[in-house]
Structure 1
Amino acid sequence: MRMTTTSVAAFAAAIAMLAASPAAAQKKYGPGASDTEIKLGNTVPYSGPASAYGILGKTYAAYFAKINEEGGINGRKIVLISYDDAYSPPKTVEQTRKLVESDEVLAIVGNVGTASNIAIQKYLNAKKTPQLFLATGATRWNDPKQFPWTMGWLPSYQAEATAYAKYLLKEKPDAKIGVFYQNDDFGKDYVRGLKEGLGDKAATMIVAESSYEVSEPTVDSHIVKLKAAGADTLLTFATGKFAAQAIKKVAELGWKPLHIVPNASSSLGSVLRPAGLDNAQDLVSATFAKDPTDPQWNEDPGMKKFHAFVEKYIPEGKAMESTVLSGYSIAQTMAEALRMCGDDLTRDNLMKQAANMKDVKLDGLLPGVTVNTSATDFAPIDQFQMMVFKGERWGRFGDVIKGELAVAGR
């Protein structure tokens, strides 16, 4: 058959188009990725002093097992390699090197603990290996300039405190604030966020500050000091038992300040009951996630999916459903980032997609709270809703507040 010049040109153009088609040109793979699988890794304290958080690692594995049963992500199965680091940073370093250099995972996901993640942060950034969606609320994970391969997941303590500042400026702008905080990075992050959120008014609104050491047997003297300073608003940036002591002492003194406690110390079982529920009435805090034990969510579609997941894939997690929900949400976020990668499963593209999430809804987040990231903001969640304790339950109120946060290194 004889072809005209025009038909030859058309035929050549068609061949060129086929060669440039997505199927032929867009599949790119880095370490741990192929046509059939995506290999991820992490270290979790399955043993040691923080072994209770081992349930997070089990939840990640269970969620990815669910995804695999449903056909995987873009047709690829997730292989999760998870090692025990016993909450020991040297062990974290050892196991992470194994994951990167021997197992050749695409990314590290959901590692637990601030100290453990700090221990591997420089190494993973030097290796250009994504360190994603960490189970820690330290502010340092939002530093894309210095650490472009590291991204947290839990809202930072600093962002949460900024939300409290916004709430006070709106609802009680003449507040005389007493700040009670733990003298370490946990407490100082909250204080920094509060002052940043109050801006120029911080100097006049904060009338007194008092910090405690975790070695102190009681914090009573600090609460007495803050009351004597004339504070009518108390922000208790303390962990569990110290927050409970503060709540109890405030009541013993007959003091009636607007009392705000952090989300980390809002647990009914470990903080409020030990402090006495009568003493905890009208406490204020903030939250970003649904409470899986609260019956108000019984008919919520997202929580129905979560409870069905627990029932089928990780029934031992029923006793720790709030922690399991965090693990479920972290894994759900990672799955979304991988879906966004399409067939370009390189470390570079995974990090690019993780830093380009817009209004991503998760089953466990409150209505109005979504995952958002950008190339200059590595804080996936920085929205909160205020809540007040009445009777035996927290009740949410007001609009969702964004905890604006200055990005480290910027």
Structure 2
Amino acid sequence: MRQCVIWIQRACPAIVLGLAVLAACGIARAGTGGPSYVLGMSAAFTGHSRGLGGELYRGTAAYFTHLNRSGGINGKPVVLVTLDDGYQPDPAIRNTLELLRRGDVLCLYGYVGTPTVTRILPLLGGTAGASKLLFFPFTGAQPQREQPYGRHVFNLRASYRQELKGLVDRFVALGRKRIAVFYQADAYGRSGWDGVRRALAAHGLTMVGEATYRRGSGFDQPMAEQVRILARARPDAIISVGTYAPCAAFIRDARDAGLDQPIANVSFVGSENMLARLEGIGKARGIDYTRDLVNSQVVPSYEDLSLPAVREYRQLMDTIEVVPPDVAGTGYQPFRYSFAGFEGYLNAIAMARVLREFDANPQLGLAAAAQSLRDVDLGIDVRLSFGPDNHQGLSRVYFTTVEQGAFVPVRDEQWEAWRR
């Protein structure tokens, strides 16, 4: 079901509610009835991975609310049309076909997940009588970075290959060369598996063990069998490629079984959601399940107040209440700040820059507008650049670990503590 994009600002709701509200007929329209830039977003707002879509949406919507209150793109508000796919490929395909058929949707934006994005890529080149670009999907997989689909997609984040190379290189440098992999049995997990394989091969190594789980598994599902499989491989470190609930379940069961090696996760896991589950079960059992965790990230820490974008992101999240669609009755609990939320916020800043270039010269097209961006300051420690042969704006990978109940940047002495 199509949802209203309603952004509520505590101090002055009337201003913010002058944005788009989806009418019963399902057509997004600016509050004034004037022109607007409409973006179509299919994401996980329900199901086991709803925290990923919800947090990404909140960061994006907070920035667009701020932008629209300031006049939008030369007076044109940016409108999000959101559809729920539950992190499942078939609904994502149906949603994409619907968005492609809509004449008012300028482009697709903010899709969540490899199993969904990889399935809709063939639709972008003209299916349903329309060819649309996809901007800033929340996945680091390869297919949207390579031909024939790469020309239809602009990525902001680093790839899984870059994240996993960073993790493998760090572990190998610490003498932890026996690396095992726990991963989701689908395109996302295999993309991560391949990234670990490639990174190890560069060191003349191979993974010592692997175990999978089924997409959609919850935190209540036991992972004891996967733990036993990997324990037999005697790894020095374990890299997980999955979502927060099953990865937290794996960490819980691994620690209960006596595996004390560092366990790493990639950015897509949803760090805060995973940590909340580990802290909850840890308090109930009197066990610290958050020790020796390493999560790679593709955006800086939202605790780094030296960065202008971090300061503005936190201010907006503190003053604008954003409720993701479809979350009523799901048990979704938003976080004050999150890595996924901050990524959504940066995606929105980048999208606004693309739209400003497009608005100034629409005859050149949306792709050319994006490709014209060079050395753009997003308010973080690296700058954004695109080009005709470069549809990935950022490439830096960051590493975090848990300290005092939060994921924070890994310090040099913490890396050394993991040296064998």
So what's the TM-score if we normalise by structure 2? Answer: 0.70
Q: Which residue of 2 aligns with 1:110?
A: 110
Q: Please, which of 234, 237, 247 is the counterpart of residue 251 of structure 2?
A: 247
Q: Which residue of 2 aligns with 1:285?
A: 295
User: For residues 262 and 223 of structure 2, what CA distance do their matches in structure 1 show?
Assistant: 19
Distance 1:272 1:362, change over 3 A: farther
Q: Which residue of 2 aligns with 1:306?
A: 313
Whether the 8 Å CA contact 2:122–2:149 is kept in 1: the answer is no
Q: What code does the residue aligned with 1:170 have?
A: A
Q: Once the two structures are aligned, what percentage of the paired residues are identical?
A: 20
Residue 156 (1) aligns with residue 159 (2):
yes
Q: Which residue of 1 aligns with 2:38?
A: 40
What's the offset of the Cα at 1:148?
1.4
Q: Which residue of 2 aligns with 1:175?
A: 177
Q: What code does the residue aligned with 2:298 have?
A: F
Whether the 8 Å CA contact 1:45–1:112 is kept in 2: the answer is yes
Give the secondary-structure state (helix, strand or coil) at the position aligned to 2:132. Answer: coil
| 1:210-263 deviation digits (Å, cap 9, x = unpaired) | 233356942223223322323222222233233223323332333332322233
Give the secondary-structure state (helix, strand or coil) at the position aligned to 2:208. Answer: strand
Distance 1:200 1:121, change over 3 A: closer
Residue 273 (1) aligns with residue 279 (2):
yes
Q: Which residue of 1 aligns with 2:353?
A: 336
Whether the 8 Å CA contact 1:51–1:86 is kept in 2: the answer is no
What's the offset of the Cα at 1:332?
0.6
Distance 1:353 1:199, change over 3 A: farther
Q: How is 1:61-80 mapped onto 2 (pairs within 5 angstroms)?
A: 61-73=61-73, 75-80=74-79
Q: What code does the residue aligned with 2:294 have?
A: V
User: For residues 198 and 100 of structure 2, what CA distance do their matches in structure 1 show?
Assistant: 38
Distance 1:391 1:307, change over 3 A: closer
Q: What code does the residue aligned with 2:390 have?
A: D
| 1:294-342 deviation digits (Å, cap 9, x = unpaired) | 4x53x65322222332344435589333244333221111011223446
Q: What code does the residue aligned with 2:124 have?
A: L
Report which of the two has the higher share of helix.
1
User: For residues 55 and 389 of structure 1, what CA distance do their matches in structure 2 show?
Assistant: 20
Whether the 8 Å CA contact 2:171–2:237 is kept in 1: the answer is no
Distance 1:256 1:315, change over 3 A: closer
Whether the 8 Å CA contact 2:42–2:96 is kept in 1: the answer is no
User: For residues 54 and 293 of structure 2, what CA distance do their matches in structure 1 show?
Assistant: 31
Distance 1:56 1:170, change over 3 A: closer
What's the offset of the Cα at 1:284?
1.7
Distance 1:66 1:140, change over 3 A: same
User: For residues 152 and 372 of structure 1, what CA distance do their matches in structure 2 show?
Assistant: 11
Q: How is 1:133-144 mapped onto 2 (pairs within 5 angstroms)?
A: 133-144=136-147
Give the secondary-structure state (helix, strand or coil) at the position aligned to 1:325. Answer: helix
What's the offset of the Cα at 1:46?
8.8
User: For residues 221 and 56 of structure 1, what CA distance do their matches in structure 2 show?
Assistant: 32
Moved more, 189-198 or 240-249: 240-249
What's the offset of the Cα at 1:353?
3.4
Aligned length: 352
User: For residues 43 and 209 of structure 2, what CA distance do their matches in structure 1 show?
Assistant: 38
So what's the TM-score if we normalise by structure 1? Answer: 0.72
Give the secondary-structure state (helix, strand or coil) at the position aligned to 1:257. Answer: coil
What's the offset of the Cα at 1:96?
0.9
Give the secondary-structure state (helix, strand or coil) at the position aligned to 1:186. Answer: helix
Residue 379 (1) aligns with residue 395 (2):
no
Whether the 8 Å CA contact 2:184–2:212 is kept in 1: the answer is yes
What's the offset of the Cα at 1:114?
4.5
Distance 1:341 1:205, change over 3 A: same
Moved more, 204-213 or 52-61: 52-61
**Structure (1 or 2) with the larger CA radius of gyration:** 1
Two-structure CA RMSD over aligned residues (Å): 3.5
User: For residues 231 and 81 of structure 1, what CA distance do their matches in structure 2 show?
Assistant: 45
Distance 1:149 1:257, change over 3 A: same
User: For residues 116 and 213 of structure 2, what CA distance do their matches in structure 1 show?
Assistant: 24
Q: Please, which of 119, 131, 134 is the counterpart of residue 134 of structure 2?
A: 131
Q: What code does the residue aligned with 2:264 have?
A: I
Q: Which residue of 2 aligns with 1:209?
A: 210
